[in-house]
Amino acid sequence: MKPVHFLIVILLFIAAPIAATANVRLKDVVEFDGVRSNDLLGYGLVVGLNGTGDGLRNAPFTEDTMSNVLERLGVNVTGEQFRPKNVAAVIVTASLPPFARAGGTIDVTVSAIGDASSLLGGTLVMTPLNGADGTIYAVAQGSILAGGAVARGEAAREVRGVPTAGIIPGGARVEREIDFALDSLRDVRIALKTPDFSTALQIEQAINTEFARAVARMLDPGTVLLNIDRTNAPSTAHALARIENLRISPTSRARVVVDQRSGTIVMGEDVRISRVAVAQGGLTLRVEEQPLVVQPNPFAEGETVIVPRTNAQLEDAPPVALAEVSGGTSLSEIVAGLNALGVSPRDMIDILNSINAAGALHAELLVQ
């Protein structure tokens, strides 16, 4: 019996002639100093669930919070047996985009923290969202769009997706703005998302060419400094708007990314392998349990016992013949050489690991 691998292999192949002319916009590979989002966090309640809320014996904080909400609304539930099944305690998260103005709306994510089984059909009650400084910047409320589904019966329950988390599009309204005077900046640092000396030098040259003078200077592989005064732009925003669509061809280190859980392999175009010979084999372990029930004769003394019977087999899988993978000059040749071995994706991960250990893989191997 041969093992079956439910795996996915993704081989990212970009031909060398195309890569030489490919370029991207500057704003897609950098972050501008101060132009960033801010994380918000809040604790709230979801009501209106169809019996899928928190079990209040296991999540007493939900009952306490619901009692406080009702008392603020003028409903006294002190001393009452208040144990609803349609309420769930949740954590609400959001990202406040740069230059968000009071009155605007942002999306929020709602996640159950108790033992609620689903947030489908629930409504988030008014929830303040705080920044890292403890200040309330937005207030969230609305109906939840939860992904997933739950089907249950008396003796079975089937869950698809994650019904205990959902989103509310435009579910939070901005109440406070973050003070940031962009126009007061005389020097703006341009931070690369992936630091690289060559890419930073390209950015410096592209900006200086655009303004026909030395207005930008590379400080390190991750930072380029832009002098706003030298650009003669009316404002800082005008200067950034002029450079954000400049085209560059970013470079990066050769990488092979391996996800062992899903069997995914992603290779960059610059990956190279020295000339190696590879042979791959494997083992198949099969263990079968066939317990035997032994009963005493009718009307005889004794008791029924279960005698364990185990059949364990360890078989050598047919080995793959020794194959040569020539020194690759392109990703396509590497892929063709590995595919010539006729191995499964899981085995290909082991082969890449071994090639890297032998020093023949000229790329950074990242195993997740």
Q: Tell me the per-residue pLDDT of 65-85, one tens digit each, with 9 for 90 and over.
A: 887 788 788 887 776 666 678
Query: What percent of the chain lies above the pLDDT cut of 90?
Result: 31
356 falls within a domain = yes
pLDDT of 140 strictly over 90: yes
Q: Which of 149, 174, 199 is the last residue of a domain?
A: 174
Q: How many residues does the chain have?
A: 368
Q: Which of 155, 174, 193 is the last residue of a domain?
A: 174
263 falls within a domain = yes
Structure confidence at residue 308 (pLDDT): 73
215 and 262 both lie in a single domain:
no
30 and 43 both lie in a single domain:
no
274 and 357 both lie in a single domain:
yes
Q: How crowded is the C-beta side of 106, counted as CA atoms within 13 Å?
A: 28
Domain that holds residue 159: 38-174
Structure confidence at residue 220 (pLDDT): 92
Structure confidence at residue 137 (pLDDT): 95
Structure confidence at residue 139 (pLDDT): 95
Task: Single out the residue of 200, 41, 238 nearest to residue 129, CA to CA.
Answer: 41
Most confident among 56-65, 144-153, 187-196, 258-267 (mean pLDDT) = 187-196
145 and 161 both lie in a single domain:
yes
Structure confidence at residue 106 (pLDDT): 94
4 falls within a domain = no
54 and 167 both lie in a single domain:
yes
169 and 57 both lie in a single domain:
yes
pLDDT band with cut points at 50, 70 and 90 for residue 184: confident
Structure confidence at residue 85 (pLDDT): 81
139 and 54 both lie in a single domain:
yes
Task: Single out the residue of 283, 232, 268, 249 nearest to residue 366, CA to CA.
Answer: 268
Separation between Cα atoms, residue 161 and residue 95, nearest integer Å: 24
For residue 58, the Cα-to-chain-centroid distance in whole angstroms is: 30
Instruction: Please count the structural domains in the chain.
Output: 3
Going 155 to 158 to 164 to 169, the CA torsion angle's sign is negative
pLDDT of 133 strictly over 80: yes
Structure confidence at residue 227 (pLDDT): 93
Contact yes or no for 188/226 (Cβ under 8 A) = yes
Q: Which of 231, 248, 265 is the last residue of a domain?
A: 248
Structure confidence at residue 35 (pLDDT): 83
Q: What is the mean pLDDT of the chain?
A: 78
pLDDT band with cut points at 50, 70 and 90 for residue 5: very low
Residue written as tokens 């190696």? 276
Contact yes or no for 48/85 (Cβ under 8 A) = no
Of residues 254 and 212, more confidently modeled: 212
290 falls within a domain = yes
Query: Environment class of residue 88 by beta-carbon count within 10 Å: exposed (0-12), middle (13-18) or buried (19+)?
Result: buried
Which of 40-44, 203-207, 300-304, 356-360 has the least mean pLDDT? 300-304
230 and 275 both lie in a single domain:
no
18 falls within a domain = no
Crossing angle (nearest 10°) for helices 197-211 and 236-243: 110
Check residue 73 and report its DSSP letter.
Answer: T
Q: How crowded is the C-beta side of 177, counted as CA atoms within 13 Å?
A: 9
pLDDT band with cut points at 50, 70 and 90 for residue 251: confident
3 falls within a domain = no
Verdict on whether the full-model pTM lies above 0.85: no
pLDDT band with cut points at 50, 70 and 90 for residue 125: very high
Structure confidence at residue 206 (pLDDT): 93
264 and 152 both lie in a single domain:
no
Check residue 179 and report its DSSP letter.
Answer: P
For residue 145, the cross-strand partners are 167
Structure confidence at residue 15 (pLDDT): 36
Q: In the predicted model, what is the mean pLDDT of residues 102-125?
A: 90
Task: Single out the residue of 309, 244, 212 nearest to residue 35, CA to CA.
Answer: 244
Q: How far is CA 47 from CA 59, 246, 352, in A?
A: 15, 49, 51
15 falls within a domain = no
14 falls within a domain = no
170 and 47 both lie in a single domain:
yes
pLDDT of 297 strictly over 90: no
Of residues 335 and 185, more confidently modeled: 185
165 and 198 both lie in a single domain:
no
300 and 243 both lie in a single domain:
no
* Residues 6+ away with beta carbon under 8 Å from 325: 273, 275, 276, 277, 278, 334, 337, 338, 340
